[in-house]
Structure 1
Amino acid sequence: AVVELTALMADTKGFDIRLEAAIAKMWNSETSYEVIDDAVQIRGGRGYERADSLRARGEYPYPIERALRDGRINLIFEGSSEIMRLFIAREAVDSHLSIAGDIIDPRAPLGRRIKALFRAGFFYAWWYPSRWLTWGRWPRYREFGPLATHLRFARRASARLARSIFHAMVRFGPGLERKQAVLGRIVEIGSEIFVMVATCTRAQVLVRDRPTDRSPYTLANLFCLQARERIDDRFRRLFRNNDASTYDVAQEAMKGTFSWVEEGMVDEDWVPPTEGPVGGSDSGEVEFASVNEGEPEPASTG
């Protein structure tokens, strides 16, 4: 549904689909990997077994482990999930920065900041109230039948998200770019809203083509109910969270405060081979240097 809607927008022309395309890549990559991971769990040990091994034992060769490897790399290739979140966040606040960016930019000269203040004042005088007054209730979207309530929720959530982005800019100022957890929740809320709309649209098309089969409504309804829970949870934790404590602990970890946790783990440094094939010696063993003794020794092949 997400890919089809994004592709339709691209083919229709006239749409700026940078956000939608980025969301499609991020959300589909992460969700497909979750589905594949569940498939591995359902298959148990067989899910971790290669297809040729299954075939040799007379089992149907479901290539689940290959799908897991192929699906996992999608969270890294063509824009990792972390980079995509930052890109989407930047696009989400870009319009605000073009209007009020000079106000929160400490490097901007006083004259530019004053001009930006007046410009932002005129803009937000109508923009902010309009985010509260938007109509997201009945009878809007009634043509979508049982899914109309979810689209109305999506409209209300979109307005709330727009207000939340504005609140975040006012609250954190130029420091917002360093609030990656907050930006991540904003991105995830927006992504869920877009996917809800895409899902409802796809279900509506399927039912229109086959009026006697209303099962697409059933699936879309369940997905939207679950998406609404995720959206509400992220809104709830947008500004009330443990981000500061998490950051403090991470900083201490970088200083080595918790190095005692590493005791008992592998404590050897890898020594790159000076000759022979890349990745190890001719015997196939990888050499390590003991941290304690400082002498190279072969790693266990067991």
Structure 2
Amino acid sequence: EIMRLFIAREAVDTHLQVAGDLIDPRTPLPVKARALARSAWFYLRWYPPLWFGGRRFAFGRFGALAGHMAFVERRARRLARTLFHAMVRFGPRLERRQMVLFRLVDVGAELLAMAAALSRARALATPEATELADIFCRHARTRVDTLFREAFGPDDEVTWRSAQRVAAGEHAWLEEGLT
């Protein structure tokens, strides 16, 4: 859990540096205006490439595994977009939506594992390594797409409120009789 929080913090750090003054309610209006201009300039250059992708046929050197590497590249761009959308949608309340962040961190971990497996298989250049990397990536694709589908879990807010009540001791009755 701590590592997930650390990774999530790293993922949003650049955005907090660029646009942090915009979401901080204590920031004076003139500072917010400068932050808005700075943010607009940054996001006008950063955001559009996340939709249009990289170079076609850039992964040909991966042979039979090129499709998996292209998947990693596409989903990495989607991950960046989804994280950005979560920041815009929730603003400072994103800290209360830790499950969203955790799911997105898990997507990043899966993509990293896929890229590592594909790179290793390419370096080994054996049919066995290619076969294992292919199988691993087939399963990882399913996990990645499931995590994206469930990124904004419909029960997260209810679960968070219930957890706050548990932490406040409102459900201490549940512990009665346990030894």
If the length of structure 2 is used for normalisation, what is the TM-score? 0.92
- Where do residues 86-235 of structure 1 align in structure 2 (5 Å cutoff)? 86-135=5-54, 139-207=57-125, 213-235=126-148
Distance 1:244 1:194, change over 3 A: same
Contact map agreement 2:50 2:77 (CA 8 A) in 1? yes
Shift, 1:151, TM fit: 0.6
DSSP 3-state at the match of 1:217: helix
Q: Distance in 2 between matches of 1:127 and 1:114?
A: 20
Contact map agreement 2:96 2:160 (CA 8 A) in 1? no
Q: Distance in 1 between matches of 2:10 and 2:21?
A: 17
Q: Distance in 2 between matches of 1:250 and 1:155?
A: 36
Task: State the AA in 1 paired with 2:143.
Answer: R
Give the share of equivalent positions with the same residue, in percent: 49
Q: Distance in 1 between matches of 2:17 and 2:2?
A: 22
Distance 1:233 1:93, change over 3 A: same
Q: Distance in 2 between matches of 1:116 and 1:256?
A: 41
Task: State the AA in 2 paired with 1:105.
Answer: D
Task: State the AA in 2 paired with 1:192.
Answer: E
Greater relative contact order structure (CA < 8 Å, 6+ sep): 2
After superposition, what is the alpha-carbon deviation per residue over 1:221-252, rounded to whole angstroms, capped at 9, x for unaligned?
11111111111111111124311121122223
After superposition, what is the alpha-carbon deviation per residue over 1:189-212, rounded to whole angstroms, capped at 9, x for unaligned?
1111111111100111111xxxxx
Q: Distance in 1 between matches of 2:96 and 2:174?
A: 28
Shift, 1:141, TM fit: 0.2
After superposition, what is the alpha-carbon deviation per residue over 1:98-134, rounded to whole angstroms, capped at 9, x for unaligned?
1111111112221111101011112212321111011
Q: Distance in 1 between matches of 2:94 and 2:47?
A: 19
DSSP 3-state at the match of 1:106: coil
Task: State the AA in 2 paired with 1:193.
Answer: L
DSSP 3-state at the match of 1:241: coil
If the length of structure 1 is used for normalisation, what is the TM-score? 0.56
Count residues in correspondence: 179
Shift, 1:170, TM fit: 0.6
- Equivalent of 1:242 in 151, 155, 170: 155
Q: Distance in 1 between matches of 2:38 and 2:170?
A: 48
Residue ranges of structure 1 left out of the alignment (5+ in a row): 1-81, 208-212, 267-302
DSSP 3-state at the match of 1:238: coil
CA-based RMSD: 1.6
